[in-house]
Structure 1
Amino acid sequence: MKHWRLAGTTAALALMAANAAVADVTPEDVWQNWQDFYTSSGSTVTTGSVERDGDTLVITDFKTSSDTDAGSSYSAVAEIRLRDNGDGSVGVEMSEDMTFGFTAPALEGDGSSGATGIAKMPGLTGTVTGSVDDMAYAYAMPSVEIAMEPVENGAAAGKITVLLSDGTSTYQLSGPADAKVLDGSFGAASIAMNFEITDPENPFVGSLNVADLAGQMSGSLSGMEEVDLADAFAKGFALDMGMTYGAMIYDFDVSDATTSGKLMGGSEGGSFQFALDAAKMMLAGGGKNVSATLSGADLPFPEVNVSYAESGFNVTMPLAKGDAPQDFSFLTKIVDLQISEEIWTMLDPTGAVPHDPATLVIDTTGTALLKADLMASADGATPDAELHSLNVNDLTARVAGAELTGTGAFTFDNTDLTTFGGMPAPTGKLELKLMGGNGLLDALVSMGMLSEDDAMGARMMIAMFANPGAGENELTSVLEFKDKGFFANGQQLQ
């Protein structure tokens, strides 16, 4: 977890340098709190001069830098002007250009990777209100244009440009310098990104455009100066952030030493959320009406099309040791997935199965007891934890005319690890319904994807665990663990 700090510090540098928004009611208080913030986050601040010019504090040659085992970063602004508005607030203006850079050890092998760049921010203005221990600020960015050059082992590796339009944000920073609490929001009418990566083995050129971005971010910044995430947690670090976006389109050219291709697509919108503190982690997101088209010389068709109506994921898990079981959840879903008819024709030339959209939903929740902090566990070590309950809220698999659905709930006896071969003994049941299963087996045999013997074995297995349902081509099953045994539809199998 060593690399987390570089990303967090770089984001803070960009935020603070763009806003110059840590403030009180006078320019001097603004400047002092800004310095305190950078120092508490592990950065060094230097200037050419800091002088009063009437109602304005003028800061020249403002520079920040950070250098740790996790990497290094810097930013520089020629001039920042903090003006006393005469009403208890401070106005913020700054030079149009900000230069920046960062490096980090390569994720694989030796060497380093990073980037240098310049951000142009014409017309950026900010207003700061509040007190030393409770600062609120708002800023407007008519446009921000970033030109960045990726660097691999000291050599330039292409360029990336970013154009943000009509950006706005409000933030509040409260508390002492070494324990700031952040609460804010941000938005932009659009963001456009262009990539040109000159990796000799895997060159990459593309563009990404996203409309209607909106988000929020809150948390405690205590411990930001720590390199290790566990140490940051010990000081109270916490973060909760989320973002929604509207229409998105992308167009990428990808290639390697032997072939080339193009990937195009987009969506009608989506969301992302991330929360992290010493006790738990949550990662969630999703998209709506997503489509992608892949073309290339090595494909058997002119192009491959994939689309789906909805996707989603949610992983919530405890991180801290507890005296009682804690909640966790896992959700993944993709709804109405469709692929090119050319692929269906290759797989099913006779039309033996319906080429309907496919759906997969796995929605589970439960509780687990952590006997030790996950962050304190050795890398690769099995977590010291016990599973206490598991709920299958929704299991849905729909493909080629067949549909499997199910729900269930289980509890686990962690004092009995012998009855089921090292697994804590479960109690509970899973109710399943299968529609069109036999028809799908017949179709797979006719397509040559399954042999008659394999299909017969599958039918025998299904017969052991399922009963005929109320409808035609419907099977139901109740799989139950009770009294240290396993039962299928009331018949004990173990």
Structure 2
Amino acid sequence: MKHWKLAGTTAILAIVAATAAQAVTPEEVWQNWQDFYTSSGSTVTTGSVARDGDTLVITDFKAATDDESGTSSTTFAEIRLTDNGDGSVAVTMSDEMFFAFEAPGLEGEQSNGATGSAKMPGLSGIVSGSVDDMAYDFTMPSVDVTMVPMENGAPAGEVKLLLTDSTSRYQLSGPADAKVLDGRVTAASIAVNLTVKDADTDVTGSLNVADLDGKIMGNMAGIEEDDIADGLAKGFGMDMALSYGALNYEFDMSDGSAPANLMGGSEGGSFQFAMDAARILFAGSGNSVSATLSSADLPFPEVKLSYAESGFKLLMPISKGDATQDFSFLTKLVDLQMSEEIWSLLDPTGTLPRDPATLVIDTSGQALVKSDLMATPDGAQPDAELHSLTVNDLTARVAGAELTGNGAFTFDNTDLTTYGGMPAPTGKLDLKLVGGNTLLDKLVSMGLIGEEEAMGARMMIAMFANPGAGEDELTSVLEFRDKGFFANGQQLQ
């Protein structure tokens, strides 16, 4: 992670932002554009730059990078920057742009990358503001991209992408080497069709997504740095979020033996990535997701899976600090269901309930970060201390049984001996299990668990749990206090 090159990871952002980096006059627009590409590590060349009345015409534009991470280029035959006479600048471009990128292969292998073009008929933009504070709107009726992946130096299929009814609005302010970006992009739909081939597998398929809505905020200071830690130290930061509506896909795969088909979709979802010198955030969600896999290698015609909701979130501090910092972790999968064919393999007699399964783990807490994690040498252990942990929600529901819980703990990092190197905890976890004994009995009747193993499990449960208020209900309070471990008030350590 230390050697992640910021300029490479933000190539798409650089293209979009630089395309719209305009000012009051066409000449200021052009200069600002060059400054932005240069600050992101690119070299700009042109065939000519000349005035034609109220329009600055740039021909044979090319922005290219060439460093240890590989090469990339973007070219336009013509770009026209027109003074509207009202303090704004209109932007039009050639209907087609070309791009290429290439990365060195692993030892003994040739390079990998892609070449392609994007047709953008009717693309237009209006930019207003000043050199240091610009607002602009772009309209793209359609963007038709064709890309040829290259693997080991040879073509490896084709990818086609069609974006329809897309708009973007951005505000880009500040000096060229520290631009602050605030933007939004929308599209009615995106359609992807691909054919990918390598030595072992052929894949063809399609993906269709509706109602895309993306937002981005970022500080571009430090984007030119090779080392991400250096870029973050200069102020680089980014917060990107994307939501989408109905999604469907279908892929056919073949490895020379049994062909397979994968199809499915969802009713929508979201994704977020944010990073700055203080923290890093990953988050995502999905709604009403389904998938069907069919293959001659399967013991039955097809496998179906679906779930009502999924979610993931990780917030982690990464900068050194004298005070504790917040962190959180969430993962959830709600109402997971699988086809009867899978159930029949696991439970041919229908002993277990076919109820949807759910798993939720929702935690938060505080940690003391004692060194900058992004500057930690590869392979080294990060220097941090866990100070508190809250279990906001623990839910596991499967085959008629349900386990729920919540609790909170603090940790004494001056005591690493009581629990064998772990900081001594103080706090408690409340748990409730419903239907556990019934599920255990059914697993015994199915022969998945022996009588002796079941007896041992019941004895273990009896040590930690008490009968609850309902039928087949058990409760437990697991507590750490006074350097001891207690279950329902009974000290076990």
TM-score (norm 1): 0.98
Task: Give me the whole-angstrom Cα distance separating, in 2, the residues matched to 1:46 and 1:127.
Answer: 24
Cα distance, 1:258 vs structure 2: 3.4
Cα distance, 1:231 vs structure 2: 1.5
- Whether contact under 8 Å (2:109, 2:152) holds in the other structure is no
**What is the one-letter code of the residue matched to 2:439?**
L
Cα distance, 1:112 vs structure 2: 2.6
**What is the one-letter code of the residue matched to 1:206?**
G
- Whether contact under 8 Å (1:70, 1:227) holds in the other structure is no
Residues 81-480 of structure 1 mapped to structure 2, 5 A cutoff: 81-106=80-105, 110-480=109-479
Cα distance, 1:111 vs structure 2: 3.6
Cα distance, 1:8 vs structure 2: 2.8
For the pair 1:35 / 2:54, whether they are aligned, the reply is no
Structure 1: runs of 5+ lacking an equivalent: none
Task: Give me the whole-angstrom Cα distance separating, in 1, the residues matched to 2:402 and 2:105.
Answer: 45
Between 444-453 and 298-307, the greater mean CA deviation after superposition: 444-453
- Whether contact under 8 Å (1:144, 1:165) holds in the other structure is yes
- Whether contact under 8 Å (2:6, 2:231) holds in the other structure is no
- Whether contact under 8 Å (1:6, 1:72) holds in the other structure is no
Change beyond 3 A, Cα 1:153–1:402: same
Task: Give me the whole-angstrom Cα distance separating, in 1, the residues matched to 2:213 and 2:267.
Answer: 15
Cα deviation code 1:40-87 (max 9, x no counterpart): 111000000000000000000000001111222100000000000010
Task: Give me the whole-angstrom Cα distance separating, in 2, the residues matched to 1:205 and 1:197.
Answer: 6
Change beyond 3 A, Cα 1:288–1:106: farther
Cα distance, 1:380 vs structure 2: 2.4
Task: Give me the whole-angstrom Cα distance separating, in 2, the residues matched to 1:257 and 1:451.
Answer: 43
Task: Give me the whole-angstrom Cα distance separating, in 1, the residues matched to 2:413 and 2:186.
Answer: 48
State the 4+ residue runs in structure 1 displaced beyond 6 angstroms. Answer: none
- Whether contact under 8 Å (2:389, 2:408) holds in the other structure is yes
**What is the one-letter code of the residue matched to 1:130?**
G
- Whether contact under 8 Å (1:6, 1:70) holds in the other structure is no
SS in 2 for 1:178: helix
SS in 1 for 2:455: helix
**What is the one-letter code of the residue matched to 1:351?**
G
Cα deviation code 1:288-310 (max 9, x no counterpart): 00000000011111000000000
Task: Give me the whole-angstrom Cα distance separating, in 2, the residues matched to 1:455 and 1:424.
Answer: 34
Between 45-54 and 149-158, the greater mean CA deviation after superposition: 149-158
SS in 1 for 2:200: coil
SS in 2 for 1:477: strand
Cα distance, 1:96 vs structure 2: 0.5
Cα deviation code 1:425-450 (max 9, x no counterpart): 00000000000000111111111211
Cα distance, 1:13 vs structure 2: 4.4
Residue 16 of structure 2 is matched in structure 1 by 15
Cα distance, 1:7 vs structure 2: 4.2
Task: Give me the whole-angstrom Cα distance separating, in 1, the residues matched to 2:107 and 2:441.
Answer: 48
- Whether contact under 8 Å (1:166, 1:190) holds in the other structure is yes
Between 217-226 and 251-260, the greater mean CA deviation after superposition: 251-260
RMSD: 1.2
**What is the one-letter code of the residue matched to 1:374?**
L
Cα distance, 1:452 vs structure 2: 1.2
Change beyond 3 A, Cα 1:201–1:215: same
Residue 5 of structure 1 is matched in structure 2 by 6
Cα distance, 1:21 vs structure 2: 1.4
SS in 2 for 1:445: helix
Residue 481 of structure 2 is matched in structure 1 by 482
SS in 1 for 2:134: strand
- Whether contact under 8 Å (1:6, 1:71) holds in the other structure is no
TM-score (norm 2): 0.98
Aligned length: 492
Residue 62 of structure 1 is matched in structure 2 by 61
Cα distance, 1:473 vs structure 2: 0.1
Task: Give me the whole-angstrom Cα distance separating, in 2, the residues matched to 1:126 and 1:37.
Answer: 18
